[in-house]
Structures are given as C-alpha cells and as structure tokens.
Chain A
Amino acid sequence: MNFEWLGRQFDNIVFLLGWHVLLAVTPLILGLLIALPLGWWAHRSRRIYPLLVGVAGLLYTVPSLALFVLLPLVLGTKILDPLNIVAALTVYTVALLVRVVADALDSVPEDTVQAAKAMGYRGYQSLVKVELPVGVPVICAGLRVAAVSNVSLVSVAALLGIPQLGSLFTQGFQLRFYTPIIAGIVLCVVLAMILDGLIILLNRWLTPWTPKVVAS
C-alpha cells in the first residue's frame, strides 16, 4: 500500500465515493417506491402474482453490463450518462423487492388484519398503519440484499468509464498499481456494511415492538 499516493489522491477518492453513494442509494429508494405498489398489487391478486414475479425473475437474469449498454436504446440517453446506471439498478431493485413486498404483506397474520378491520380501520388505513408496518422486517431483509448488491454492481460501470469507486480498479489495472485497487475494494465493502447497518437500524426504529435482540 502506498499511503503517500492515497494522501495525494484524497480529494479524488472522496469525489468517487460521493458518486458511488449517489449511484447506489438513489436506485434503492426509487426501487422501493416502485416496488411498494407493485408488490401490493401482486399481494392482492393471485393472478398478477406469478406474472409480476416471473417478469421480475427474467429481468434479474440480465447481466448488469448488458443492461447498462441496452438501456440507452430504451431511454434515449448517451452511453456515458450515469442515468443508465441509476435506471439499471432501479430495475434490479424493483425486480428483487416486488416479490419481497408481496411476501411481506402475505406474511401478515389474518387475525391482525381482522382485528384492524374490527377496530374500524378502512382498507388503505389498514394497509398503511397495520399491514405495512407488520411487514417491515421482511421488506428490510430484502432491502439489505438490494443495498449490498447495488454497491457491488455500481463498480461494474467503471468498465464503461462512468466515475465511481470502480474507476480505482481500472486505474490500478492500467498502472499495474495495487494501492487504488485495494483502496477501492475496502471502500466498497465498508460502504456496503454501512448501508446494511443503516437498514438494520431503520428496521429497529420502525418496529419498536420487537424484542431488542433481533436475529439479523
């Protein structure tokens, strides 16, 4: 490790880290916002469920580099536009979470739904105030998987020349120089762990009724 090089490159690395966070977190939020109504729809309709889960599974099989390259055809963007990465990762996040949200809502005990109804909650009130909160742990488990894989997937975009932590890998390869590669790997893993930890905290904050020792 050449720490002197790291010191000189500090500003650049922070810049790359910032882009990495942006490219990994934006799709996570967008994906969740899209997956919530879709998952609810799959939960409500037994005919829609296999259809949505099937399409999601097919989307998930498309390799990321291929999706990064094909999306400009659909979106009309330039190949170097970071928007392609955000769109591609949103597609993966939605594909993963649609099933998770549907299964989370399915996992709410029927007694709970009945009790909410008996207490006067109407359809959407019951969904927002009872069913979704009860399903939070399952949704958070899915979010954790999506967050960690997004961080890893963003670095693939370096092969197309879009700046983020993956750029340190291509730079290290061209210079035959280990320092940026190791720094990039460490930062990616730390970033993934931080996002993972934040979602665990979010889960605890949203579900204060669960016992303190939560099996993760």
Chain B
Amino acid sequence: MNYLFDPAHWSGADGIPTLIGEHLLYSLIALAVAAIIAVPLGIYIGVTGKGVFMIAGLANALRALPSVGLLILLVLLISPAFPSRMGYVLPSLIVLVLLAVPPILTNTYAGVRAVDAAAVDAAKGMGFRTMKILTDVQLPCSLPLVLSGIRSALLQIISTATIAAYISLGGLGRLLIDGKAQNDYSQMVAGAILVALLALFFDQLLAFITRRVVSPGLTRRTIKPVPAAEPVKTPVTV
C-alpha cells in the first residue's frame, strides 16, 4: 500500500496519472477500431445471414489463442519494421483489436437476429424503406446486446493492455512488470489495485450507459417478453 499513497508516485512522466492516461488511450483507440470493424460487419451478417458460419468458429478459436503468445509473436514479427516505439505500440494495438472484435461481432449479430420479426414486418407495412427499418427499428432494438458486446470487449482490452507492459507498452501494467523486475511487491500491488479499479469503473460506466440509452420499451419485459435475447457469453480470457 505504501507505493500507492506516496505522493512522489502521483506526478511526473512515469507517475500514476500518466500511466492511467496511457492505459485509457490505448484501450479506447483499440475499442474504437474494433467497434468500427465489428459493428457494421455484425449488422451485415445479421441482416443478410451471409457468413454466419464465421461467427461461432471465430469467437471460439480466438478464445483458445493465448494472448501473451500472440502479443509476443506479433512484436517479434512487426517491431523490426519500425525503428521507434511504434514497433511496440502497433503490435499491441493489433492484438487488442483482434481480441475485441469477436465479442462485439457475435453480440451485434445476435442482437440483430433477435429483433422481433413482427416489429420489422410492421415497419415494412408502415412503408419504411430497408435503410429506415435498419436505423429506426433493427438497430435500436439490438442496442442492448451490441452494448453488452462492447462492454466485454472493453474489459478484455483493459486486461490485455496490462499484459502488454511486458513488451514495453506504457500503461498501468508498467507498475506490475517493473515492480516484478525490481522485486518491489508494493509497486505490483498498487498496479494490480489500480487496474482492477479501472476495469470495475468502466464496466459499471458501460452498464449505466446501457440503462440510459436503451429504449424503455425494450427493457419493460413484464409487458411483453422479448424473444430469447440471451447475450453471447464472451468472458475475459486474459
């Protein structure tokens, strides 16, 4: 606990606020890239039904891949091509995106699939065009599952970004890896507590956002049970 409450560790280029900032920066960039890839793709597969076979296989295969091994392999492959720090940042970001895509993709797909067919038919009957059905009916209805996918993806990213400190990425993982190297257990504990708090905070934040943005008509399940909208379980595997 000493490390955490020493004011000297709360300022400067390797101070705790800087590390938290770095951790968040990498995490949010990776999440944004993953969402830009996975949400449209998930919608496309959900609406057209093309490429469904990819979904289950992809999610399971990536869960089995050890992220530490993947990370180190990519660093060795990519870093010689980049002389600067990019050689470490880029492979880490690729791995973070790679691990974040499956939960968002599978949940978006499941979300679009679970939209009540009657609601889509009703919209069609009211003269909505395909695009308008998508933006005004299918997307709002699948929002809870899409957000739940983004939530597990963010947890996965925050967790893996910690490990990336081993291949000299910045962020809170530095405290764990440097603490280990210096045999400084209090520094490691400080890092572990901060990472855990960061993950808990963002998990709760996303839960809160989900409650705010999801249409109340969808969550009032006592009135009309929405057909089996089970979130696809994608636990943090790191």
In the assembled complex, A126 has its CB within 8 A of some CB on chain B: no
Flag if A173 contacts B167 (CB, 8 Å). yes
Q: Which chain A positions have C-beta within 8 A of B203?
A: 57-58, 61
Choose the segment among B30-38, B192-200, B214-222 that binds chain A (4+ C-beta atoms closer than 8 Å).
Answer: B192-200
Q: Which chain A positions have C-beta within 8 A of B61?
A: 189
Flag if B162 contacts A65 (CB, 8 Å). yes
Chain A contacts to B: CB under 8 angstroms: 57-58, 60-67, 69-70, 73, 79, 92, 96, 142, 145, 148-149, 151-153, 155-156, 158-161, 165-166, 168-170, 172-173, 176, 178, 181-182, 184-185, 188-189, 192-193, 196
Residues of B58-115 contacting chain A, CB below 8 A: 60-61, 63-70, 72-73, 75-76
Give A157 to B69 CA distance when docked, in angstroms: 12
Give A158 to B180 CA distance when docked, in angstroms: 12
Q: Which chain A positions have C-beta within 8 A of B162?
A: 63, 65-66
Flag if A70 contacts B63 (CB, 8 Å). no
Q: Which chain B positions have C-beta within 8 A of A145?
A: 63, 233, 235
Flag if B76 contacts A185 (CB, 8 Å). no
Q: Which chain B positions have C-beta within 8 A of A92?
A: 235
Flag if B235 contacts A155 (CB, 8 Å). no
Kindly provide the distance from the CB of B228 to the nearest chain A CB, expressed in whole angstroms: 12
In the assembled complex, B177 has its CB within 8 A of some CB on chain A: yes
Flag if A169 contacts B63 (CB, 8 Å). no
Flag if A192 contacts B73 (CB, 8 Å). no
Flag if A60 contacts B235 (CB, 8 Å). yes
Flag if A66 contacts B235 (CB, 8 Å). no
Question: Interface majority SS on B: helix, strand, loop or mixed?
Answer: helix
Give A64 to B160 CA distance when docked, in angstroms: 9
Kindly provide the distance from the CB of B211 to the nearest chain A CB, expressed in whole angstroms: 14
Q: Which chain B positions have C-beta within 8 A of A66?
A: 162, 176, 191-193, 195-196, 199
Flag if B195 contacts A65 (CB, 8 Å). yes
Kindly provide the distance from the CB of A17 to the nearest chain B CB, expressed in whole angstroms: 13
Flag if A152 contacts B196 (CB, 8 Å). no
Flag if B72 contacts A173 (CB, 8 Å). yes
Flag if B196 contacts A185 (CB, 8 Å). no
| Nearest-CB residue, chain A, relative to B80 | A176
Flag if A69 contacts B64 (CB, 8 Å). no
Flag if A152 contacts B67 (CB, 8 Å). yes
In the assembled complex, B158 has its CB within 8 A of some CB on chain A: yes
| Nearest-CB residue, chain A, relative to B60 | A148
| Nearest-CB residue, chain B, relative to A216 | B56
A70-B192, A145-B233 are contacts. A156–B163 as well, Cβ < 8 Å?
yes
Q: Which chain B positions have C-beta within 8 A of A176?
A: 76
Give A168 to B70 CA distance when docked, in angstroms: 12
Q: Which chain B positions have C-beta within 8 A of A152?
A: 63-67, 237-238
Kindly provide the distance from the CB of A142 to the nearest chain B CB, expressed in whole angstroms: 8
| Nearest-CB residue, chain A, relative to B155 | A61
Flag if B66 contacts A69 (CB, 8 Å). no
In the assembled complex, B185 has its CB within 8 A of some CB on chain A: yes
* 19 sample A-B contacts, Cβ–Cβ < 8 Å, listed by A number: A58-B200, A60-B236, A62-B199, A63-B238, A65-B163, A66-B192, A70-B189, A96-B233, A148-B237, A155-B68, A156-B68, A159-B68, A159-B163, A169-B72, A170-B166, A172-B72, A173-B167, A182-B73, A189-B66
Flag if B76 contacts A173 (CB, 8 Å). yes
- Our pick among B63, B68, B235, B236 for the contact of A63 (Cβ within 8 Å) is B236
In the assembled complex, B46 has its CB within 8 A of some CB on chain A: no
Give A193 to B63 CA distance when docked, in angstroms: 11
Q: Which chain B positions have C-beta within 8 A of A73?
A: 189
